[in-house]
Amino acid sequence: MTLSGPARWALRVFMGVGLTFIYVPLLLVLVNSFNGDRTFAWPPHDLTTRWWAAAWENDGARQALITSVRAGLGATVIALVLGTMVAFAVQRFAFFGRDTVSLLIVLPIALPGIVTGIALDSAWRSVMGDLGIGKGMFSVIVGHATFCVVTVYNNVLARLRRTGTNLEDASADLGASPSQTFRFVTFPLIRSALLAGGLLAFALSFDEIIVTTFTAGPGVTTLPIWIFNNLFRPNQAPIVNVVAAVLIVLSVIPVWLAQRLAGPEAGASRT
């Protein structure tokens, strides 16, 4: 389609406005973290780095960060194992109910988070509680892993579709055992997809608040929960500002890494 010059310019302007819309709020949080006022005042009167120092010293935020990292790692490991297994099953085999399996994997992110959250909550109260397993870190990891499987699944499935099985067949023809083929051919082929999928799973878990709210036992405070708990406390506002700013800066890392590892399509969806 040959677009006229003005049409191209209109689209370019639209893109610029769209990107401004996306980035202005994020920049505002960054600026605000240096705001000298304790109560938010716009525009800021003076700039200071003392909130950054205070946030660094804040015990609650630090503990929450550690909890989030642990939950994220647990969920990512489970998602990596389960997601890879399903991806291989769906890509390498034709079987009855294959579409149902892929729908089942997508379901936890296609249904609202509050449904997943309250479902796990009621399962824990009605069943697991009776079995003597209370809510805690374990229930958080179970909840996160359930919706993280899909990110690994999608990444590995896309990679398996692209690479095909020729190299594995060649390896088998040349006399390699199945385990050798997996170690020297299959695994290296999917390694970067695993890394990208795992990274996205971790980021998804790290950011999740709704499912966490419903599955966290007493004393399990992830970073999003900590932020939410402190969001409406005026005394904590400057520290929340800094934590928010840090999270914006850190969000560049997974995108950058995923791009490097698996090409532009990695992380091209929430899934």
Among 74, 198, 238, 254, which residue sits at the site for another protein (rule: CB under 8 A)?
Answer: 254
Among 47, 133, 170, 268, which residue sits at the site for another protein (rule: CB under 8 A)?
Answer: 268
Helix %, strand %, coil % of the chain (to 5):
75, 0, 25
How far apart are alpha carbons 104 and 132 in whole angstroms?
28
Show contacts with another protein in window 220-239 (CB under 8 A). Answer: 223-224, 227-228, 231
Among 43, 132, 218, 234, which residue sits at the site for another protein (rule: CB under 8 A)?
Answer: 43
Q: Which stretch binds another protein (CB under 8 A): 38-46, 54-62, 159-167, 190-198?
A: 38-46
Q: Residue 195, interface with another protein (CB under 8 A)?
A: no
Decide whether 25 or 219 has the Cβ nearer to another protein. Answer: 25
For the range 231-240, what are the long-range contacts, defined as Cβ-Cβ under 8 Å and sequence gap of 24 or more? Answer: 234/38, 234/39, 235/38, 237/38, 237/39, 237/40, 238/33, 238/35, 238/38, 238/51, 238/54, 238/55, 239/51, 239/54, 239/55, 239/58, 239/61
Among 47, 53, 81, 133, which residue sits at the site for another protein (rule: CB under 8 A)?
Answer: 81
Show contacts with another protein in window 94-133 (CB under 8 A). Answer: 95, 101-116, 118-123, 125-127
Q: Which stretch binds another protein (CB under 8 A): 51-59, 89-97, 157-165, 189-197?
A: 89-97
Task: Kindly state the smallest distance separating residue 39's Cβ from another protein, in Å.
Answer: 11
Q: Residue 170, interface with another protein (CB under 8 A)?
A: no
Q: Residue 186, interface with another protein (CB under 8 A)?
A: no
Residue found by looking up tokens 């970073």 in the block: 223
Q: Which stretch binds another protein (CB under 8 A): 58-66, 162-170, 189-197, 244-252?
A: 244-252
How far apart are alpha carbons 84 and 98 in whole angstroms?
15
Q: Is 120 left (phi over 0), alpha (psi -120 to 50) or beta?
A: alpha
Q: Which stretch binds another protein (CB under 8 A): 55-63, 81-89, 160-168, 186-194?
A: 81-89
Q: Which stretch binds another protein (CB under 8 A): 26-34, 55-63, 130-138, 186-194?
A: 26-34
Contacts of 148 (CB under 8 A, 6+ apart): 75, 76, 78, 79, 83, 201, 204, 205
Residue found by looking up tokens 């630090």 in the block: 62
What pairs with residue 47 in β-bridges?
A: 35
Among 7, 47, 66, 170, which residue sits at the site for another protein (rule: CB under 8 A)?
Answer: 7
Q: Residue 18, interface with another protein (CB under 8 A)?
A: yes
Q: Residue 189, interface with another protein (CB under 8 A)?
A: no
Q: Is 175 left (phi over 0), alpha (psi -120 to 50) or beta?
A: left
